[in-house]
Structure 1
Amino acid sequence: MGNVSVVEERIVYRTVEGPAPPPQSLLDQPWRGIDWNNKKKLLEEINRYTPKHGEKHLRVLVYGPVGAGKSSFINSAASALYERIYIGAEAHTTDASSRSHTLKYTTHNIFKDGGYSDEPYPFVFNDVMGMEGGDRLGMHPDDIVMVLKGHVKEGYKFNPMSPLTDKDHGYNKNPTINDKVHVLVLMLSADCSDIDPTIIDKMEKIRQTAHDLGIPQIAIGTHVDTLCPEIHKDLQNIYRSKLLYTKIKEFSKAVGLVENCIMGVKNYSHETDTDDNVSTLILLALRNMINYGNDYIRAHAKSLK
């Protein structure tokens, strides 16, 4: 009887000391609510926006490190509005090159009626050269400051080593309300492990200038599906993901924006047709851009003219 008792105790001991179960990567409840059946309402809200304060359109400037998905987001926003895949702004895979493919200051329009109309939506996107580490690589922060104030002409070619001055041909001496930026959007890849400190310094200068000008700012974490396997399996897990929750807190601390101004999206990349979940997140971000920009123009219309 004694020997049997010893064997039983050893079996119990080995069971307790076996490999621990993997940590739960999803929260029981989402930390941010999303109505996944809201796409139609979001489209209606976006289509309802009409300029009322002297502006021809609302201008959204998208900036961020190389590979963050800036051009892809513009294409994805058009795809979500068109309800079909659209490729307009030149986008590249993140592993195609470590250098920026956007060299000129270009305005991107999105057209109504699924892209089949010649009438553009009353908001435009500007995609600028990507930011890189070091003093002589990527978008110069002084150029982004010039863009914010409306001093950069369409087609101006950025030079990382020589930012735009008031003596250059690409300098717009008399910007109107339509030339100035009304919403500043920082794109960051959610799956990046860290950000070069020199890029953080550049972003801080831009953030502070936008703050001084009163321009609303938001940040968007792209590539959320490659950050977290649970999001990859089901995009509706985005705001149940502990990984993304931690990442957004890190973003907030790094870029100086409150958490409710930071959103996650998945850009369209390999898809050949649109997906309601992907589009819902993109349209939520777009709706917020329009709302924040409209609020800013209404409050600053006189000084912007």
Structure 2
Amino acid sequence: MLKFLKSTKKHNVTGKARKESIKPWREFEPGGSWTEQYRTKLLEQINLHNIEEEGVATIRILLLGQIKAGKSSFLNTVAAIDRKRISQITRAGGADKSLTFALKEYRPTGALKKNICILDTMGYEEGKAGFNAKDVGYLVNGHICPDYKFHPTSHIEKESTFFRPNPQKGDKVNCIVFVADANILGQDNITMEIRQKQKELHDELSLQDVPTIVLLTKIDVLCESVETDVTNAYTSEKVKQAVDKAEEFYNVPKQNIFPVKNYEKEIGTDINTEILVLLALRQMMYFGTDFLNAASGSAAITE
């Protein structure tokens, strides 16, 4: 009998240690939770956010990333939140080549109000295929009009009908978002060619000083516990390791990295999936506004 009691006590200690081992690597803000109420709160914060910048009606968010990373799926997920149902506003899938060939702009008009604009671009690939890094500076500075077809081997010409020679403040990008497959980053399975492409983009963007966010997609594929329940995203060791890799690869702080799950196989919406996406969208809004305010302050000092 005494041996049985001793064995039970040991088992309880092990159980306690196991519970402590799943302490979240990221905590919600005060009041945050996996609830419909918190989802509604995030949506309201995005919708009620005041840009307060003359000549700027929307925060412009530029999506960049490797093919199959989930850029277009993220756009479709945002559209699903906006329309309150699964939506497809752009082609998405696991093709070996980019499914996005032209610059697309998406402006929500439903549950998400009209204060954000998301720009989807061609994915970059190995070799000479995919997005040309030379175009990114023109995109950020508002020179490229919607529906411009990207050319892997050449950037936009100033003579092009899609080139905007004198962009206004409202044409420029306020936040850059790199979309990355958490599986590739988590397994450190990035080829040298992709590393070189990322370096070229980084070099082009280094002169822009635009805030950068990283979206880690496919966390449900990376981690079985997240596939079972997306609320495990902030306790998953695999997701945490992918965030650590993203911090190193993209040279951004962890607070700028957001693991998300896109709608890809679902036929109905999910509160917890949308909480992760809304947390990322809200930060894009905040960073974009901070950038605008800082730019206006610098201009005022210069004048």
Q: Same fold (TM over 0.5)?
A: yes
| 3-state SS in 2 of match to 1:271 | coil
Say whether 1:111 aligns with 2:127.
Answer: no
Where in structure 2 are the equivalents of 1:269-280 lying within 5 Å?
A: 269-280=264-275
Distance 1:200 1:53 in 2: 36
Please tell me whether the aligned partners of residues 69 and 179 of structure 2 are also in contact (alpha carbons under 8 angstroms): yes
Distance 2:253 2:203 in 1: 14
Please tell me whether the aligned partners of residues 77 and 282 of structure 1 are also in contact (alpha carbons under 8 angstroms): yes
Consecutive unaligned residues of structure 2, counting only runs of 5 or more, are 1-17
Of 22, 29, 39, 2:23 maps to 29
Where in structure 2 are the equivalents of 1:120-269 lying within 5 Å?
A: 121-134=114-127, 136-192=128-184, 193=187, 194-269=189-264
**Which residue is 1:99 aligned to?**
97
Please tell me whether the aligned partners of residues 47 and 115 of structure 2 are also in contact (alpha carbons under 8 angstroms): no
Distance 1:160 1:62 in 2: 17
Distance 1:189 1:182 in 2: 23
Q: Deviation of residue 233 (structure 1)?
A: 1.1
Number of residue pairs aligned between Structure 1 and Structure 2: 272
Please tell me whether the aligned partners of residues 53 and 297 of structure 1 are also in contact (alpha carbons under 8 angstroms): yes
- With normalisation by structure 1, the TM-score equals 0.84
| 3-state SS in 2 of match to 1:285 | helix
Of 73-82 and 121-130, the range deviating more from structure 2: 73-82
Consecutive unaligned residues of structure 1, counting only runs of 5 or more, are 1-23
1:21-67 per-position Cα deviation (integer Å, ceiling 9, x unaligned): xxx8x942011013212111101101102332120211000010000
| 3-state SS in 1 of match to 2:171 | coil
Distance 2:203 2:50 in 1: 29
Q: Deviation of residue 209 (structure 1)?
A: 3.7
**Which residue is 2:77 aligned to?**
76
| 3-state SS in 2 of match to 1:129 | coil
Q: Deviation of residue 202 (structure 1)?
A: 2.4
Q: State, as a whole percentage, how many aligned pairs show the same letter.
A: 29
Q: Deviation of residue 199 (structure 1)?
A: 2.1
Q: Deviation of residue 304 (structure 1)?
A: 8.4
Bigger radius of gyration: 1
Distance 1:27 1:58 in 2: 39
- With normalisation by structure 2, the TM-score equals 0.84
Q: Deviation of residue 73 (structure 1)?
A: 0.4
